[in-house]
């Protein structure tokens, strides 16, 4: 998916229009192909879940912009550090994720790999791309944390079908 979005970002200069077309197409396909399985428990659940939408749209747009201005390897390495921010945010959840030595070790390995990779890149040529990757990572962490809060049974779940989520 990332490869095709990279090609689309380079071929299609109107990034907001590209994202809009992708979102419209996805929504139509969801409505046509999965209408019977869409279910939302109440208007309150729908309104709570609608908090995800701006984060999702921002994630897609900033992803396209990051792909336009940065190599895919830089994006993958920088985004691998996102779990650090997610773990910090999830500490404030009603039931925070359990952290053990394996999780800490994995995160330290990701950080070490990220530092090794970033130390070898050409900074002046990639500053704009790195900025978009950073913004995309922030938005993605926000979206994933809200989704986890609303979907995990041990948190504050909304009543929505998996297809609707």
Residue 54 structure tokens: 């701006």
Residue 93 structure tokens: 């959840």
Burial classification of residue 109, based on how many CB atoms lie within 10 Å of its CB (0-12 exposed, 13-18 middle, 19 or more buried): exposed
- Give dist(CA 3, CA 148) in Å, integer: 27
Read off the pLDDT of residues 34-65 as tens digits, 9 standing for 90 and up: 888 888 888 888 898 889 999 999 999 999 99
- Give dist(CA 101, CA 107) in Å, integer: 10
Distance from CA of residue 129 to its chain's centroid? 16
Read off the pLDDT of residues 90-102 as tens digits, 9 standing for 90 and up: 888 888 888 889 9
């Amino acid at each position: 998916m990332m490869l095709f979005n990279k090609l689309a970002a380079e071929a299609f200069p109107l990034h907001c229009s590209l994202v809009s077309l992708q979102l419209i197409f996805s929504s139509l396909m969801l409505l046509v192909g999965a209408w019977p399985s869409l279910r939302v428990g109440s208007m309150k659940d729908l309104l709570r879940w609608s908090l995800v939408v701006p984060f999702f749209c921002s994630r897609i747009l900033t992803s396209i912009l990051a792909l336009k201005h940065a190599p895919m390897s830089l994006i993958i390495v920088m985004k691998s550090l996102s779990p650090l921010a997610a773990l910090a945010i999830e500490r404030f959840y009603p039931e925070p994720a359990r952290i053990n030595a394996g999780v800490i070790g994995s995160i330290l390995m990701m950080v070490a790999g990220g530092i090794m990779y970033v130390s070898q890149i050409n900074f002046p040529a990639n500053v704009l791309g790195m900025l978009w990757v950073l913004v995309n990572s922030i938005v993605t962490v926000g979206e994933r944390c809200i989704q986890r809060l609303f979907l995990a049974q041990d948190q504050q779940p909304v009543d929505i079908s998996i297809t609707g989520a």
